[in-house]
Amino acid sequence: MKTRITESFGIKYPILLSGMSWISVPKMVAAVSNAGGLGILATGPLNAEQTRQAVREIKKLTDKPFGANASLLFPGAAESAKVLLDEQVPVINFALGKGDWIVKRAHEYGGKVIATVVNLRHAKRAQDYGADGVIATGYEAAAHGEAISSTILVPHLAENLEIPVIAAGGFGDGRGLAAALALGADAIAMGTRFMTTKESPLHPTFKKLSIEKDVYDTLFSNRFDGLYCRVLKTEAAEKAIKKGLNMPAAFFNSQAIAKQMGLPYIKLFIGVLLSGWSTAKQLAYLANAFKAIRVATEEGDNKTGVLPVGQVTGLIHDEPTVAELIERIVAEAKQVREKLSHQID
């Protein structure tokens, strides 16, 4: 199976692991890369030194290409991105910020850079930066998609860009892979489907819920983390969205984030205040969301924990190994191709 992405990244299959905080850890990244896809490390919860350690751990677990992400809006993300560049990570995925400097430095050592986007404006900007591809995040996706569905966003970007498009949002099986390729994508990125695999560190409570829930069992709102975000429909998620921004909680949760990132809290606090009310409000939302996602993922707390998942959760019925899942998806995609070739003929 060859596409511009497999050829450019040196991978066997056009399947990427989305960089999910507390889930896309070194073991998970290596499992996807070793199975022929491209694992992407999530650096959101990591400080610079933890990022360096995680990258080096991945290098011990696989000799295959892998990636890492940097959500540039998050505190400490720029420092982690610099570590990724210093460590010469083969593929860097940036989002929520201006990544031209990442592209420039990565290309100096032969690295590739992909930008996560939700619209054509952002995609064209990434192309102008010299990015090697974009991840198109549709409405169906976990976390931060926007109003356009993948079936519209992917061909819209594909016909307006020269660089490859990676489809994200609603993809979890061979039918989805075949559909994405037909729409003009060169690969798919999966988060929700990879969450419920043997190697995934997601807590068993939420793996079980991911299998039990239907395609209708997600919530989409900008009142959870300040951006439009899709999460699993639970009582805790409904309460969080109904309450919206809890400023007192954000004050304490931001202290925990500063400690995790190794940043002096007063420096972080002043920096947030100087960023303006809009950015400060957004970071306060993210501080609360970080805690809710962490306790769901790591502790299985379904009383206060909230888990980002895509609508594709309703198509998940089992918990295979990563390798079993990828081989199944590729086999299904080939079956779909054969079926369609007969139908079209």
Residue whose tokens read 């299959």: 13
**247-300 confidence digits (pLDDT tens):** 667 655 566 665 666 666 565 555 555 566 566 676 677 777 889 999 999 999
* Range of lowest pLDDT (35-44, 71-80, 119-128, 259-268): 259-268
In this prediction, residue 66 carries a pLDDT of 98
Q: Whole-angstrom Cα distance, residue 197 to residue 29?
A: 12
In this prediction, residue 210 carries a pLDDT of 96
**Under 8 Å CB-to-CB from 24, ≥6 apart: which residues?**
17, 18, 39, 40, 41, 42, 69
Mean pLDDT of the chain: 91
Helices 247-261 and 277-299 sit at what angle, rounded to 10 degrees? 70
* Range of lowest pLDDT (86-90, 141-145, 238-242): 141-145
Q: Whole-angstrom Cα distance, residue 164 to residue 158?
A: 7
Q: Can you give the residue ranges of every domain in the chain?
A: 4-201+318-344, 214-299
User: C-alpha 302: how far from its chain's center?
Assistant: 22
Instruction: Compute the 3-state secondary structure of the chain and give helix, strand, coil in percent, each to the nearest 5.
Output: 50, 15, 35
Residue % of the chain over a pLDDT of 70: 89
Nearest to 192 by CA among 224, 230, 136: 230
Stretch 149-169: mean pLDDT, rounded? 98
Q: What is the DSSP string of 292-339?
A: HHHHHHHH--TTT------GGGGG------HHHHHHHHHHHHHHHHHH
Q: Whole-angstrom Cα distance, residue 24 to residue 36?
A: 16
In this prediction, residue 260 carries a pLDDT of 64
Which amino acid makes up residue 310? G
Q: In what order do the strands lie in the sheet with 40-41?
A: 15-17, 187-190, 165-168, 133-137, 112-117, 91-95, 67-71, 40-41
Nearest to 133 by CA among 117, 149, 152, 151: 117
- The residue with greater pLDDT, 342 or 84, is 84
Stretch 169-184: mean pLDDT, rounded? 97
Q: How many CB atoms lie within 10 A of CB 89?
A: 29
- Show the CA angle centred on residue 119, arms to residues 291 and 82, nearest 5°: 55
> Residue 74 — pLDDT band, cuts 50, 70, 90?
confident
3-state SS assignment for residue 267: helix
CATH of region 4-201+318-344: 3.20.20.70
**Under 8 Å CB-to-CB from 251, ≥6 apart: which residues?**
none
